[in-house]
Amino acid sequence: MAVICDTGAVYALYDADDAHHQSVRAQIEAEFGPFLLPVILLAEIDYLLTARLGAKAAIDFVESIEQGSFELVLPEPSDLTRIHELMTTYGDLRLGIADASVVATAERLNVDRILTLDHRHFRVIQPRGMAHFVLLPTDRT
Ordered domains of the chain (ranges, CATH): 3-136 (3.40.50.1010)
User: What is the pLDDT, as a whole number, of residue 140?
Assistant: 79
pLDDT tens, position by position, 116-139: 999 999 999 999 999 999 999 999
Do 79 and 6 touch, CB atoms closer than 8 A? Answer: no
Q: Which of 114, 100, 98, 112 is nearest to 43 (CA)?
A: 98
CA–CA separation, 68 and 63 (whole Å): 9
The strand ranges marked E within 74-116 are 113-115
pTM of this prediction?
A: 0.96
The parts of the chain modelled with pLDDT lower than 70 are 141
CA–CA separation, 85 and 52 (whole Å): 32
The strand ranges marked E within 1-141 are 3-5, 35-38, 71-73, 113-115, 134-136
Do 14 and 62 touch, CB atoms closer than 8 A? Answer: no
User: What is the pLDDT, as a whole number, of residue 131?
Assistant: 95
